[in-house]
Structure 1
């Protein structure tokens, strides 16, 4: 038996023990519901108990552990108070990650929503709308890592005089320009990373907004036409107000996804050239540099930024429903 197989045995045993324990809990709950009368609230609590247990073990306890680590030193042994949070707002590299995250949040949601809205409005009532929506949804079929690699090849650089393999530099050279290292020059490289995110997410926005636009009552639009309203006026004063709840859900979804942006940055630049964002800096501090206190503080900040947006999104989705 090889060393790797022996090393994996304790993990496999723990996995089997955990699965058996969870199955036993579920079996006892079902048996209790089957054997005796249980009030509706009691039955609901019993049925939710396994999920609540998993949430506590997989989310609550790690979250509390991360919160505790954010007040400890890099080894997790000594209490340092708020030093990790002071570092987060004073260290140049951490400030770059905060600045870049702010740029992503300011630019990505409006661009994704705006482009998706215009595209949806243009094709929603066209004969080829199914094909058009399918084409813009194609980027969603690949992961963010895949999207990052696609655009990394688009931005690929070769020295002047060499054959260019990047589409963008090939176009620049074809028109008489000099090839550029698009992903190296800060702060413009942030914009080129954002393009990849917008490309990957616009299909999601277009699909949701196309459904919302199609649900706008035709009688209202026809009445506006009879009153002499132009297509632009109908879009601005009727379509957009009618789909405002869906617009809000799309924007909030993109804000949440942008806060957690990691894959595209990792695939395209690995956080180099001043392109790091909070999620990537958290990963580097925790697993690359071994500074668990710094990484935990960034994780807590990310949680605090995302939580109110998630709560507001839930309320917005209820209004859409």
Structure 2
């Protein structure tokens, strides 16, 4: 209860603080550049100056926070990547030399690439199929709500749910894990699924696909509804079947949206951390870059230099995809 009360008070104070800031700053701006009882030329000048400043009153706090929480950490991470584990002694490129000679790094990098191949493709594909199917049934909105529901769960919460699904009991104990219960029901042998090398990566990926399919479905459903009915009707009159309409008429018209959804999930996958931490903590060959960065930075005494190098690698991988995504979105907006 104390935590809930603290969170509630923080939210109330935050909202009130924002209201006081925006209201007070606008009053102050109007007093600095008054328009009442002033010559017409001065009124026009003050209005022009105030209107140019006013947007920054709203954007200013956000820009400052983004600068502090995003820009500064990037610069400091680059700096730390050239220092030793304590972040005090300059070691040059030693951390980068270690990185490209580390088997642990290449294991993490390989796993991340595997996640990149499977998760965005599977989530986008399932989202597209579900969006298409639910638009054709009367209870489609109910189905969409159920499929989108995992998006409301944190990654840690989702991992706990799936831990019960993959749970394994040895020594002949009754299996409480859903997957092993099904296997035993059909006469199979229960398995400790998340400890099986290579395949356990896919069991972890299923969790993120389960979460992100709802996101892909919502975005792609909106895009599908934007397809002109005339094109579908023309294809039907020309004798096209359902699959031909889907792959040759509908998908090409929303290809830009599909690409944006795919790249958005890709950026998320590059930073995946919570699921691996909660399910395996990187054991049994499931380590990924973000979890490795966390291990080097905060565990075993911490090594700021090596942790920062792994963070730089993640940033370098994310930036090109993010830039392409922004350019694609801007191109679509200009096309409209």
The normalised TM-score by structure 1 is 0.87
Is the counterpart of residue 234 in structure 1 residue 245 in structure 2? yes
Match for residue 183 of structure 1? 194
Q: CA deviation at 1:24?
A: 8.5
Kindly tell me: are residues 90 and 190 of structure 1, through their superposed partners in 2, closer, same or farther at Cα, counting changes over 3 Å?
A: same
Q: Which residue, 289, 295, 301 being the options, matches 2:307?
A: 295
Name the SS of the counterpart of 1:183 in structure 2: helix
Is the counterpart of residue 113 in structure 1 residue 113 in structure 2? no
Kindly tell me: are residues 46 and 94 of structure 1, through their superposed partners in 2, closer, same or farther at Cα, counting changes over 3 Å?
A: same
Distance in 2 (CA, whole Å) between partners of 1:165 and 1:87 is 44
Q: CA deviation at 1:125?
A: 2.5
Q: CA deviation at 1:53?
A: 2.6
Match for residue 134 of structure 1? 145
Check the 8 A contact 2:22/2:58 in 1, yes or no: no
Kindly tell me: are residues 139 and 45 of structure 1, through their superposed partners in 2, closer, same or farther at Cα, counting changes over 3 Å?
A: closer
Match for residue 97 of structure 2? 86
Distance in 1 (CA, whole Å) between partners of 2:132 and 2:230 is 17
1:27-176 alignment runs, 5 A limit: 31-32=28-29, 34-36=31-33, 37=46, 38-39=48-49, 41=52, 43-44=54-55, 48-159=59-170, 161-176=172-187
1:163-312 alignment runs, 5 A limit: 163-289=174-300, 290-312=302-324
Distance in 1 (CA, whole Å) between partners of 2:115 and 2:292 is 15
Check the 8 A contact 1:185/1:273 in 2, yes or no: yes
Distance in 2 (CA, whole Å) between partners of 1:188 and 1:77 is 41
Kindly tell me: are residues 29 and 52 of structure 1, through their superposed partners in 2, closer, same or farther at Cα, counting changes over 3 Å?
A: farther
Check the 8 A contact 2:164/2:177 in 1, yes or no: yes
CA RMSD across the alignment: 2.2
Check the 8 A contact 1:96/1:274 in 2, yes or no: yes
Aligned residues: 301
Check the 8 A contact 2:25/2:57 in 1, yes or no: no
Distance in 1 (CA, whole Å) between partners of 2:99 and 2:27 is 49
Match for residue 13 of structure 2? none
Check the 8 A contact 1:148/1:196 in 2, yes or no: yes
Distance in 1 (CA, whole Å) between partners of 2:61 and 2:265 is 31
Q: CA deviation at 1:47?
A: 5.2
The normalised TM-score by structure 2 is 0.84
Match for residue 16 of structure 1? none
Check the 8 A contact 1:246/1:320 in 2, yes or no: no
Check the 8 A contact 1:26/1:50 in 2, yes or no: no
